[in-house]
Structure 1
C-alpha cells in the first residue's frame, strides 16, 4: 500500500537533494528513510530558505517518488556521514502552505500549524497529499 510522507528541510537543502536525486532527513538519520518504501511519495516542506538563515520560505518545495530500496550512508565531509535514499523528483512549483492550512487534516491546531512539522518527517493522509500535489503539479499523479 502506498504511503505519503512529508520531509522538512530548508529550500537550500531540498534543492541539493532534488539535483542529486536523493532524500536526506532529520539531520541524516537512517530511521525516517527506512520507514518509507519503494513507491511511496515524499513531499518536502521548507520552513526557511537556508538552513542557518532566518528568511522564511513556508512552502512545499519538492515532490518525488521513492525509487531506491536501500538506505545508504554518504560521506559529505570527514566526520559527517548522513544516510540517504534515492528519490525520483518531479518538476514542481513551490506552493505556499498558508492558503492550504484550513484544508490540511494533519494540521490539528490551525493556530499553531508549524507544530506539525517538529519531528522533521511525518506521514500524511492521501487526501492531504492530493491537495498539496495538485498545487505543486497542477494535477494529482497516479498513485496507489
Structure 2
C-alpha cells in the first residue's frame, strides 16, 4: 500500500530534482531513499528559495516514486561533482502553496515534520496538500 511523505529541501534543490525526474532527501543520503517503495507519494516543503536565501515556506512539488530501487546519481547539470542517492519520481503539475494558507488544515504531526529531512505523514494530510497544490 502506498505511503505518503514530506521532504524538506530548499526550492532550488527541489527544482533540480523535478527537472531530473528524481527525489532525494537529507543531502542525497542513501537511507532516506532506501526506505521508500515504488508507488509511495512525496511532497516537498521548501523553507527557503536557496541555501541561506530568502524565506519561502511553501510546499513546492508533489510526485510518486516510480523505481524499485535507489540509484547513485552524479551527473547533476549544475553540480557535476555532487553524488547523491535518488529514486526515480514522476512529478504531477502543481502550484506552490504557502504553509500559512493551509497550516490549520494539517495535523500537528505533519506540521512537526517540516523540521525533518523526510517524514511519513497521513493520507488525509497528503490529500489536503494535493488539493491545495492543484493548479487552477
TM-score (norm 2): 0.89
Post-superposition shift, 1:118? 2.3
CA distance in 2, matches of 1:97, 1:85: 26
Paired residue secondary structure (1:68): coil
Of residues 114, 121, 125, the one that matches 1:124 is 121
Deviations 1:96-136 (A, max 9, x none): 1112112211447xxxx5x5322210000010000011011
Of residues 85, 97, 101, the one that matches 2:99 is 97
> Counterpart of 2:89?
87
> Counterpart of 1:66?
65
TM-score (norm 1): 0.84
**What RMSD, in angstroms, separates the aligned Cα atoms of the two structures?**
1.8
> Counterpart of 1:142?
none
Post-superposition shift, 1:40? 0.8
Post-superposition shift, 1:70? 1.7
The aligned length equals 132
Q: Which runs of 4+ in 1 moved over 3 A?
A: none
Unaligned segments of structure 1, at least 5 residues: 140-144
Unaligned segments of structure 2, at least 5 residues: none
Paired residue secondary structure (1:93): coil
